Chain A
C-alpha cells in the first residue's frame, strides 16, 4: 500500500539578504495512513517549512514530496492545513468558514449544509453556527479551523503549531479534543510543535529535527496507550528521552546563532 506521505531528500534553500540560507537538507519522512506524527525541533529548524512545502504553499529546492503516491505541486484541497493564527475569514460565520472549501468545489447548498453540520457537531461547535470568529475564544476558533480543514475531506491534516497561541488549560483540552476527532476520522496528521509535552501526549511517532539545516535526527515511536497520563512513569520516561535529544539540538542552534559567520 502506498504510504500517505512520502518525503525523500527534501532540500530547501532560500536567499535572505545576500546570504543563502539552507533551511532543509536531505529531509526524509514516510508516514503511513492514519498515523499521528509530531515534528519537533528547535526554532528555525525548518519544521514549518516542511509543512508548507507539503501544503504547496512553498516551493522545494530539491527532493521528492508525494501525497498518496502523487507528487505535490501547488496547494490543493487534498491537504488540509490548520494554522497557529487560526486564519479564519472574519466576515464569515462559523458555518460559512467551514463551507469555504465546499463552495470552492461548487458543492450544492443543501449538501454543503449537511457536510458543515456534520463537522460542526464533530468539533463540538453546535449552537455557534452563526457566530463570527471575533465572538469566539481561541480554542473555539481553532475548532473552526480544524472543522474547516476536515470538511474538504483531505488525505492528510497538516497542523502548524495549532495550539501555540492558546493558554495552558485550553491547550490541554484541545489536545484531548484533537485525539477524539482523530480517532473519529482516522486522518493522517502531521503536527508541528515545539512542546515536547504536547508531542508525547499526542503522537504515535515523534520526529526530532536537527538545527538548521533541518534533517531527521531521531524518529521515536511512542508506544503508550491512550488516553495518556502525563504523570505516569512511562510518559515521563519518553518525555525525558525526547527532551535529551532536543536539548542537544537547541544547544547547537544557540552556538550557531552566537558564532560569527
Chain B
C-alpha cells in the first residue's frame, strides 16, 4: 500500500513536473508578497502590533507549537491535532454507520424514500454549524462537536449513496436476472459494487465539510483541546502568529484527509474497472 502510494506519487511527479514548479512558484510569490506587506506595515509604524505577522514568525510558531506546552491546559499542538482527529474519526464513523444503510434503503425502496425524504429535505439546508449551540448543551463537550461533524458528513454520503443506487443501469439488472440472480444477490453483486464509487465521492466531499464543522464547533466548546480551540485561544490573547500556525495545520489536515479519500476513491474505482 505505501509502496503503491509512493510509486503513484513518483509517476504523477514525473508526468506533471511543470505544474509542480508553477505551484511552488505561486506559493513562494504569495509568501514573498505577505512578507513585503508585513515589512511595509512595520515601516510606517515601528510599534506595529497588529494582525499581520511575518511569515517566518508564523513558521517558527508552527514548529514551536509542537513543543510548547500551554500552561493552562498542558496541551501541545500534537494533542490538539489528536483531539480534532479523534472527533473527525468518531463523527465520520457515526455518519457512515447511519448514512450508508439509510442511503441504500432510500435508494432501493420507494416507501422508505417517501418516509425519509421530507425529513432529509427539511434538515439538509440547515448548516451543520447552526446545530452547535444545542448539540453542545445537550451532548456535551466531547459528543457535541462529534455530532456536528457527523451531521456535516452525513448528507453528502447519504445523497451520493442514494444517487448511486438509482444510477444502476437497468440493463445490468436485466443481465443479472437472466443469469439467475434473485433480489438478495442482485443487491450484493450488482447494486453494492455499482454504488461503491459514488459512496467514495460522498466520503471525499463529506470530509471537507467535516473539517469546517470541527473547527467551528471547537471554537464554541471542546473537551481536551482541538485545533479549532487552539486558533481561538491564541487569537483571544493576541498571539497571531500562533493563530495562523493553527489555521495552516487545519488546512494541511484537510488536504491530507481528502487526499487519502481521493486516493482510495481512484484506486478503488480503477481496481473495480469503473474509471
A residues lining the B interface (CB < 8 Å): 55-57, 74-77, 79-81, 83, 85, 87-93, 100-101, 103-105, 132-135, 148-149, 152, 158
Contact = CB atoms under 8 A, between A and B. Distances in A.
Contacts of B189: 89, 100, 103-104
Interface size class of B (residues with CB under 8 A): 20 to 34
Interface in B174-225: 174-181, 185, 189-190, 193-194, 196
A152 B179 CA distance: 7
Most B CB atoms within 10 A — which of A80, A93, A100?
A: A100
A80 B178 contact: yes
Contacts of A75: 174, 177-178, 180
A161 to B, nearest CB: 12
A75 B173 CA distance: 11
User: Most chain-A Cβ atoms within 10 A of its Cβ — which of B174, B180, B274?
Assistant: B180
A112 to B, nearest CB: 13
A93 B169 CA distance: 18
B175 A104 contact: no
Q: Please report whether the interface of chain B is mostly helix, strand, loop or mixed according to DSSP.
A: helix
Contact of B174 (A81, A89, A104, A133): A81
A103 B190 CA distance: 13
A91 B180 contact: no
Contacts of A134: 273
Given A57-B178, A152-B179, 5 more contacts: A57-B177, A83-B175, A90-B273, A91-B272, A104-B179
Contacts of A85: 171
A149 B178 CA distance: 8
A258 B273 CA distance: 46
Nearest to B176: A100
Contact of B179 (A77, A91, A93, A133): A77
A129 to B, nearest CB: 13
A93 B180 contact: no
Contacts of A80: 178-179
A125 to B, nearest CB: 16
B190 A56 contact: no
Contacts of A83: 171, 174-175
B56 to A, nearest CB: 50
A91 B178 contact: no
A114 to B, nearest CB: 18
Nearest to B180: A77
A75 B190 CA distance: 16
Contact of A132 (B177, B185, B273): B273
Interface in B237-253: none
B170 to A, nearest CB: 9
Nearest to B269: A91
